[in-house]
A and B are shown apart, each in its own frame.
Chain A
Amino acid sequence: EADIYQTPRYLVIGTGKKITLECSQTMGHDKMYWYQQDPGMELHLIHYSYGVNSTEKGDLSSESTVSRIRTEHFPLTLESARPSHTSQYLCASSVLGGRSGGPPKETQYFGPGTRLLVL
């Protein structure tokens, strides 16, 4: 079982507030990701990181920012929450898994998610 944690699990907040969603993993994985998922819809990558001091934007435009000061920690921040930010946010991390003689492969492990409601 993957050891990746997200807090809070649920958050209801007013428009204009600054929020930080926490994600931590104890597996020593270098790569970490943030996805956004609306109910019944696909996961969309919003940020990822190769390791400490590395952050990259994903495919889905997002007004959030991330930081990676420690390997195990990858928080996501919204400076000014809006109702359009209402969604589920999923954090994931990956290990490089290789087969002998082949290129490295990756499997992503997910946290339980944070459900955000902005009023």
Chain B
Amino acid sequence: GAVVSQHPSWVICKSGTSVKIECRSLDFQATTMFWYRQFPKQSLMLMATSNEGSKATYEQGVEKDKFLINHASLTLSTLTVTSAHPEDSSFYICSAPNRVYAEAFFGQGTRLTVV
């Protein structure tokens, strides 16, 4: 199958700082990528849809100024958590649809801990 790589796999940062998470489709192009958030022992909740060359579409209740998404190329989307706070600590997962395989492939996830 296709491969989606997410980096970093874990990060610890201080309150008030910003953290950037990268999501790359390694062997295919993705004009759309999805960013999910997963709290401990809970399900994945879609945060936003990243669109190459245009603005991301955010789900209701997600602060677009806090969670900045950039999809600058057909293989890379980034999520930047700005001015992070402890309540932003979570597991963030990206996915990229692949039409050849007719499924979305997921990154390994990033565990963010804000102290």
Q: Do A and B belong to a common assembly?
A: no
Residues of B within 8 A of A (CB): none
Residues of A within 8 A of B (CB): none
